[in-house]
Amino acid sequence: MASYKKVVKQLSPLLRNITHIPVKEVEILLLHILGQNVIWLHINYNKECDDSTFKKLEKLVQKRSQDYPIEYITSRASFYGETFNVAPNVLIPRPQTEILVEKAIETLSKISNPKVVEVGTGSGIISVMLALEVPNISIIAVDINDDALALAKTNAKKFDVEDKITFVKSDIFNSIDVKDYDMCISNPPYIKNNYKLPKNVTHEPSNALFGGEQGDELLKKIIDQTYLNNIRYLYCEMGYDQKEPLGEFLKNYKTKSVEFYKDYEKFDRGFTVEFDYE
């Protein structure tokens, strides 16, 4: 049987049209099967790969070659320097959401005992990172997806912050009382219903992606309900083409500040609002 190095080289061409790092992804799948880390692979790269491992690896590479997300295959995704559990039927974390978390941490760190509500918690990455980074924080995290809530609870337990987060099945604030909370934070569905998704994204849950005919309908509901509940700050991710319509919509509310920010690729990606209730 061939070495691990030769096996990786043999299978990586299958992923050339799927990813810009085919060799790296085959290595990730191999390590997933073996339950080992990168250091182990570097030490053992020239050792023999047994037939059973090769067949398992070939099967996973074939699955990945159909544009099936590698995060769903390995049940893992990196976010904000940590490794989170992921699962099918729950949105895969994106690096761009780290910007939203950074901005929220900066504001919440200046508030003693902050109370936060997260709308559409998904895998729980935002709430977990806030719980890890902000002292004495209390969070209610909601979602309408039972699978998402179950996964989010698993991630909260993994990072030992389940005492700081209450997970609730709710459509925005319908099943919870968050009046006078300090912040609402959300990475909600914001893609137009008729938008044709890339093939790899079609494997993710549509109710975590599509936000309505215009795409920003749910965002507008979140803005309105946040204001009505007397929540001071609203931090949201949004679509790259929604700055103008959401900027106009926010003019209907009394605000102290409205700021839009860009993602790592310089697309408009989110906004922060401080409402004025005086």
CATH code for the domain in which residue 266 is found: 3.40.50.150
* 16 in a structural domain: yes
Q: Are residues 62 and 161 in the same domain?
A: no
Average pLDDT over residues 7-20: 96
The H-or-E segment that residue 228 falls in is helix 217-228
Q: Helix, strand or coil for residue 27?
A: helix
Higher pLDDT, 199 or 155: 155
Domain range for 197 is 88-275
| pLDDT for residue 266 is more than 80 | yes
pLDDT-wise least confident of 82-86, 112-116, 187-191, 205-209 = 205-209
Q: Helix, strand or coil for residue 92?
A: coil
* Percent with pLDDT over 90 in the chain: 90
Higher pLDDT, 278 or 248: 248
**What pTM does this model have?**
0.92
Q: What is the structure's pLDDT at 124? A: 97
Q: Are residues 139 and 243 in the same domain?
A: yes
* Token couple for 177: 């009382």
Q: Are residues 36 and 168 in the same domain?
A: no
Find, among 214, 202, 223, 215, the residue nearest to 272 by Cα. Answer: 223
pLDDT-wise least confident of 69-83, 189-203, 230-244 = 189-203
* 264 in a structural domain: yes
In tens, the pLDDT along 44-69 reads 999 999 999 999 999 999 999 999 99
CB 81 within 8 A of CB 104: no
| pLDDT for residue 39 is more than 90 | yes
How far apart CA 65 and CA 22 sit, in angstroms, is 10
How far apart CA 197 and CA 176 sit, in angstroms, is 33
| pLDDT for residue 1 is more than 80 | no
Q: Are residues 48 and 100 in the same domain?
A: no
Phi–psi pair at 270, nearest 5 degrees: -170, 175
In tens, the pLDDT along 172-231 reads 999 999 999 999 999 998 888 888 888 888 888 887 778 878 889 999 999 999 999 999
* 33 in a structural domain: yes
Average pLDDT over residues 139-143: 98
CB 180 within 8 A of CB 229: yes
For β-strands 268-275 and 255-262, DSSP reports them as: antiparallel
Domain count, the chain: 2
Sign of CA dihedral 168, 170, 175, 180: positive
* 77 in a structural domain: no
Average pLDDT over residues 64-82: 95
Q: Are residues 22 and 104 in the same domain?
A: no
| pLDDT for residue 101 is more than 90 | yes
Average pLDDT over residues 20-35: 96
